[in-house]
Structure formats: C-alpha cells, structure tokens
C-alpha cells in the first residue's frame, strides 16, 4: 500500500483562482476554518487557505502539489501542467435535464468518511412520485440532518424501487491499491447498481443519471475490465439538486451508512464520528490502544492520511 504524505506549498492570488476553478467539481460541502475550499480528488485531499497556503494530503499528494508548484514557476505553460481530462470537465457545458421526468439515478455516501463503509444506491423514480417525494422534503442528504433522514427514508423505500451495494472497510482496504483508487471503486459500484436497476427491470425511464465525480471518459476507462458496462448515462454535477432519483439515492445511501457506522460503533464499544477531521484521530488512538492496530482495517479507510497520524501518535 502506498504511503500517505502531506505536502504544503505557497501560491499567489492568480494560482488560487486557478485552483478554485480546477477543483470545482471535487469540492466538499464543508471547509475548515480560514479555507477557501477543500476538495477530494479520490487519492488526495486538497485544502486551499485564504493565506495562500495549499495543503495536499494523501497517496498522490506529491504529484498533485508538484503540478501547482510547476504552474507557479511557469504560468505560460499552464496547459501543459493541467491534466487535459480534468480540464475538459471544467470547461464542459453543464447538462440540463427536465425535473419532471422518470429516471434512474445513483449516488454514494462514505467516500469522505474515515470510518464506515462506502454505500452506493440506485433508485427508480417515476415522475408521478415526484410530488410525494417533494412533500417529504427530499433533497441532497448533505442538506438534511441524520435525524430527518432516519424518519423519512423508511417512507421512501416503501414506495420507491432501489438497489444498494455496500463496500465494508475490510473489503475497501483489501481492494484499494495502485490499480484501484477511490474513483475507480466508485465507478465500479455505480455501474453495478445502475446496471441492475436499468437492465434487470422493465422500468420506463427517460434518463439514467449519475452525480458526476469525474469525467465521462475517465468513468468508462475505470470500467474497461467490467463486462457490458451500462451506457447512455447522463453525468451531472450536483445532480442531487437537479434529479429526484439521485436525491433519493443520496438519502437511502446516507440512511444505510448511518445504520452501519452505528453498528460498528456498538461492536467496538465506542462512538465513531463521521467525516475525516482530527476528531476521528482521537477515536482512532483509543481504538488502537484497546484492540491493536489491526482494528483499523475493519473500521477505517487505511489510505486516508488520518491513519498515519494515528499510528505516529501511538508510537510516542
């Protein structure tokens, strides 16, 4: 397993603007204090601070930071340094679809959480069910409290067909490596649930929608080894706000994630926090002190930079 590293560089205002645009589709909802944004590339967490400091954490931190260091030194060659695939994603015109449609959509939860599984859900929403879901207050799971999700999702799953796949922490750690990064894992799981929904049922839908986490080209490159990947998908950024089936899938995934992380906490007799902030490391230290370092492979995503800091603290 590749080692996680942390790299900090200093950038000027021009580069801050470039970074802000470049990472637009990868930004997290919440940002740390004094940060302009925090983004997740799949292998690296990028935090840009108002001071001009840019912190890169993850197994590709050196590669990601060196790109911006090079841009700082030679801005006229910026097209050479910015990956053309990511660049095209930024420039692509946003796809617009009608809201009042029947659709199959997918979304995932858990990829930015140190503890707990990755949960991917695809659901089929008939346009006739949109008023019912709107009345429930369905929207992106990041904008609804866990308490609300626990109340409304049981009502949703009684009426809305869905398929969920869950990748446990142990499975994640066994699969993650040089040939299987976070975005490839997400692509494989999305393809699986969407294929089962679209190919295995006689649903009359207008669109199949994914909440876009990378370009369409990169998505299908990840699926080269998958037999008959589902085609005809519409990729939309922040799709949970624009497509009801994606919003529903987001809520169902979050509901299952909440249940599963609570089960893990009960199993090990400790509350497991969500996210990947420094508080998770305090819990990680307690877990390792009680159960040994091997416990982390069953409850956490080992490639996150939090692991290195937990183990370093234990050795003190």
Structure confidence by residue, pLDDT tens digits, 4-50:
788 899 999 888 888 888 888 788 888 888 899 998 887 789 999 98
Name the CATH code of domain 103-263 (choices 2.70.98.60, 3.30.420.10, 3.30.390.10, 3.40.50.300): 3.30.420.10
Identify the CATH homologous superfamily for domain 5-91.
Answer: TATA-Binding Protein (3.30.310.10)
Domain positions in the chain are 5-91, 103-263, 268-315
pLDDT of residue 80: 35
pLDDT of residue 58: 84
**Do residues 111 and 118 touch, judged by C-beta distance below 8 A?**
yes
Low-confidence ranges of the chain (pLDDT < 50): 1, 76-92
Do the domains spanning 5-91 and 103-263 agree at the CATH topology level?
Answer: no
The model's pTM is 0.72
What's the angle, vertex CA 32, arms to CA 29 and CA 34, rounded to 5?
A: 120
For 206-229, the pLDDT digits (tens) are: 999 998 888 899 999 999 999 999
**Do residues 111 and 39 touch, judged by C-beta distance below 8 A?**
no
């Amino acid at each position: 397993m590749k080692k996680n590293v942390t790299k900090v560089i200093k950038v000027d205002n021009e580069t801050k603007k470039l970074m802000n645009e470049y990472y637009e589709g990868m930004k997290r909802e919440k940002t740390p204090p004094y940060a302009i944004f925090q983004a997740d590339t799949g292998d690296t967490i990028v935090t840009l601070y108002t001071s001009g400091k840019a912190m890169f954490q993850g197994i590709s931190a050196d590669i990601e930071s060196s790109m911006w260091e090079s841009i700082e030194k030679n801005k006229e060659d910026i097209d050479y340094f910015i990956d053309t695939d990511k660049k095209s994603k930024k420039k692509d015109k946003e796809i617009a679809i009608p809201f009042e449609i029947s659709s199959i959509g997918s979304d995932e939860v858990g990829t930015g959480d140190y503890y707990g599984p990755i949960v991917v859900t695809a659901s089929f929403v008939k346009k006739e069910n949109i008023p019912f879901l709107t009345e429930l207050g369905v929207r992106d799971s990041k904008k609804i409290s866990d308490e609300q999700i626990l109340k409304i999702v049981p009502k949703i799953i009684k009426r809305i067909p869905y398929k969920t796949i869950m990748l446990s922490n142990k499975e994640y750690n066994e699969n993650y490596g040089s040939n299987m990064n976070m975005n490839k894992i997400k692509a494989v799981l999305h393809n699986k649930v969407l294929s089962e929904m679209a190919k295995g049922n006689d649903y009359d839908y207008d669109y199949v929608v994914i909440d876009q986490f990378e370009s369409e080209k990169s998505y299908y490159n990840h699926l080269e080894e998958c037999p008959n990947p589902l085609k005809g998908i519409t990729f939309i950024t922040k799709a949970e706000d624009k497509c009801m089936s994606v919003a529903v899938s987001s809520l169902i995934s979050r509901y299952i994630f909440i249940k599963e992380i609570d089960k893990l906490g009960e199993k090990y007799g400790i509350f497991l926090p969500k996210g990947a902030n420094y508080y998770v490391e305090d819990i990680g230290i307690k877990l390792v002190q009680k159960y040994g370092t091997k416990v982390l492979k069953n409850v956490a995503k080992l490639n996150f930079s939090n692991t290195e800091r937990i183990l370093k603290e234990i050795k003190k």
